Amino acid sequence: MKLPAIVVNFKIYERGVSKEGLKTAKCLEEKAEDLGISLAIAVNAIDLRMFAEELEIPVFLQHMDSVGFGAHTGHICAEMLRDTGAYGVLLNHSEKRMLLADLSAAINRAKKHNLKTLVCADTVESSRGVAALGPDYLAVEPPELIGGDISVSKARPEVVSGTVEAVAKISPDIPVLCGAGVKTGEDVKRAIELGAKGVLVASGVVKAKDPAKALEELARGLP
Amino acid sequence: MKLPAIVVNFKIYERGVSKEGLKTAKCLEEKAEDLGISLAIAVNAIDLRMFAEELEIPVFLQHMDSVGFGAHTGHICAEMLRDTGAYGVLLNHSEKRMLLADLSAAINRAKKHNLKTLVCADTVESSRGVAALGPDYLAVEPPELIGGDISVSKARPEVVSGTVEAVAKISPDIPVLCGAGVKTGEDVKRAIELGAKGVLVASGVVKAKDPAKALEELARGLP
Amino acid sequence: MKLPAIVVNFKIYERGVSKEGLKTAKCLEEKAEDLGISLAIAVNAIDLRMFAEELEIPVFLQHMDSVGFGAHTGHICAEMLRDTGAYGVLLNHSEKRMLLADLSAAINRAKKHNLKTLVCADTVESSRGVAALGPDYLAVEPPELIGGDISVSKARPEVVSGTVEAVAKISPDIPVLCGAGVKTGEDVKRAIELGAKGVLVASGVVKAKDPAKALEELARGLP
Amino acid sequence: MKLPAIVVNFKIYERGVSKEGLKTAKCLEEKAEDLGISLAIAVNAIDLRMFAEELEIPVFLQHMDSVGFGAHTGHICAEMLRDTGAYGVLLNHSEKRMLLADLSAAINRAKKHNLKTLVCADTVESSRGVAALGPDYLAVEPPELIGGDISVSKARPEVVSGTVEAVAKISPDIPVLCGAGVKTGEDVKRAIELGAKGVLVASGVVKAKDPAKALEELARGLP
Q: Tell whether D72 lies on the interface with A, counting CB pairs under 8 A.
A: no
Measured at the alpha carbon of residue A48, what is the angle toward residues A141 and A185, in degrees to the nearest 5? 40
How many beta-carbon contacts under 8 Å exist across B and C? 85
Question: Given phi > 0 = left and psi -120 to 50 = alpha, else beta, which region is C169?
Answer: alpha
SS3 category, A201: strand
Residue range B176-197: mean pLDDT, rounded: 93
Cα D32 to Cα D103: distance, rounded to the nearest angstrom: 31
Provide the pLDDT confidence category of residue B154 given band limits of 50, 70 and 90: confident
Nearest Cα residue in chain C from D67: C12
Q: Tell whether C53 lies on the interface with D, counting CB pairs under 8 A.
A: no
Q: Tell whether A17 lies on the interface with B, counting CB pairs under 8 A.
A: yes
Measured at the alpha carbon of residue C11, what is the angle toward residues C5 and C17, in degrees to the nearest 5? 105
Cα A47 to Cα A19: distance, rounded to the nearest angstrom: 9
| Pair C118, C87: CB distance under 8 Å | no
Is pTM, for the whole model, over 0.95?
A: yes
pLDDT at C186 (0 to 100): 92
pLDDT at B1 over 80: yes
Select from A19, A63, A84 the Cβ nearest to the Cβ of B74. Answer: A63
Q: Tell whether C71 lies on the interface with D, counting CB pairs under 8 A.
A: yes
Q: Tell whether C26 lies on the interface with B, counting CB pairs under 8 A.
A: no
SS3 category, B176: strand
pLDDT at C25 (0 to 100): 98
Q: Where are the alpha helices (DSSP H) in chain D?
A: 18-35, 48-54, 100-112, 124-132, 152-155, 157-170, 185-193, 203-206, 211-219
From residue A30, alpha-carbon distances to B157, C124, D34, D84 in Å are 61, 48, 76, 62
The interface pTM score, or ipTM, of the predicted complex is: 0.96
Cβ of D73 within 8 Å of Cβ of C67? The answer is no
Q: Which of C93, C119, C124 is nearest to C105 (CA)?
A: C119
Provide the pLDDT confidence category of residue B144 given band limits of 50, 70 and 90: confident
Average pLDDT of chain C to the nearest whole number: 95
Provide the pLDDT confidence category of residue B162 given band limits of 50, 70 and 90: very high
Cβ of C49 within 8 Å of Cβ of D45? The answer is no
pLDDT at B47 over 90: yes
B209/chain A closest Cα distance in angstroms: 16
Cβ of C94 within 8 Å of Cβ of B103? The answer is no
SS3 category, C146: coil
Residue range C190-201: mean pLDDT, rounded: 95
Cβ of A101 within 8 Å of Cβ of D108? The answer is no
Average pLDDT of chain D to the nearest whole number: 95
pLDDT at B155 over 80: yes
Nearest Cα residue in chain D from A140: D101
Task: Please name every residue paired with A199 in a beta bridge, in sequence order, or none if there are none.
Answer: A6, A178
Q: Which residues 6+ apart lie within 8 Å of A208 measured at CB? A: A214
Q: Which of B157, B199, B163 is nearest to B37 (CA)?
A: B199
Q: Which of B115, B117, B62, B123 is nearest to B93 (CA)?
A: B62
| Pair A40, A28: CB distance under 8 Å | no
- Give the number of other Cβ atoms within 10 Å of residue B146's Cβ: 21
> What digits encode the pLDDT tens for the residues C146-180?
778 888 888 888 999 999 999 999 999 999 999 88
Cβ of B71 within 8 Å of Cβ of A42? The answer is no
> What digits encode the pLDDT tens for the residues B77-101?
999 999 999 999 999 999 999 999 9
Q: Supply the DSSP string of B37-58, one letter for each residue.
A: -EEEEEE-TTTHHHHHHH-SS-
Cα D151 to Cα C137: distance, rounded to the nearest angstrom: 47
Residue range C56-61: mean pLDDT, rounded: 98
Cα C22 to Cα C52: distance, rounded to the nearest angstrom: 10
pLDDT at B148 (0 to 100): 80
> What digits encode the pLDDT tens for the residues D159-215?
999 999 999 999 999 999 998 888 999 999 999 999 999 999 999 999 999 999 999
Which domain CATH number covers D157? Answer: 3.20.20.70
Percentage of residues of chain B with pLDDT beyond 90: 90
Select from C94, C98, C132 the Cβ nearest to the Cβ of B128. Answer: C132
Q: How many domains does chain D have?
A: 1
Q: Which of C144, C16, C93, C210 is nearest to D70 (CA)?
A: C16
Instruction: Please state which of the ranges A203-217, B117-131, D180-194 shows the lowest mean pLDDT.
Output: D180-194
Nearest Cα residue in chain D from C203: D71
Provide the pLDDT confidence category of residue A187 given band limits of 50, 70 and 90: very high
Which amino acid is present at D62?
Answer: Q
Residues in chain A: 223
Cα A182 to Cα A180: distance, rounded to the nearest angstrom: 6
Residue range D124-130: mean pLDDT, rounded: 97
A181 or A129: which leads in pLDDT: A129
pLDDT at D104 (0 to 100): 98
Average pLDDT of chain A to the nearest whole number: 95
Instruction: Please state which of the ranges A49-58, A100-109, B67-76, D182-191 shows the lowest mean pLDDT.
Output: D182-191
pLDDT at D150 (0 to 100): 85
Cβ of A50 within 8 Å of Cβ of B48? The answer is no
Residues in chain C: 223
Interface of D with A in 76-105 (CB under 8 A): 92, 94, 97-105
Instruction: Please state which of the ranges A91-95, A206-210, B177-181 shows the lowest mean pLDDT.
Output: B177-181
Cα B52 to Cα B44: distance, rounded to the nearest angstrom: 11
Residues in chain D: 223
Cα D170 to Cα D128: distance, rounded to the nearest angstrom: 7
> What digits encode the pLDDT tens for the residues A106-157?
999 999 999 999 999 999 999 999 999 999 999 999 888 877 888 888 888 8
Is residue D141 part of the annotated active site? The answer reads yes
pLDDT at A175 over 80: yes
Contact yes or no, B with A (3+ CB pairs under 8 Å): yes
> What digits encode the pLDDT tens for the residues C60-81?
999 999 999 999 999 999 999 9
* C25-32 long-range contacts, CB within 8 A, separation 24+: C25/C51, C25/C54, C25/C55, C25/C57, C26/C54, C26/C55, C27/C211, C27/C212, C28/C205, C28/C211, C28/C212, C28/C215, C29/C55, C29/C56, C29/C57, C30/C212, C31/C212, C31/C215, C31/C216, C32/C6, C32/C57, C32/C215, C32/C219
Sign of CA dihedral A114, A119, A124, A128: negative
pLDDT at A151 (0 to 100): 84
The domain containing residue B173 runs over which residues?
5-219
pLDDT at A60 over 90: yes
Interface of B with A in 155-214 (CB under 8 A): 202-203
Q: Supply the DSSP string of B68-88, one letter for each residue.
A: -SBS-TT---GGGGTTTT--E
Cβ of C73 within 8 Å of Cβ of D50? The answer is no
pLDDT at B146 over 80: no
pLDDT at D146 over 80: no
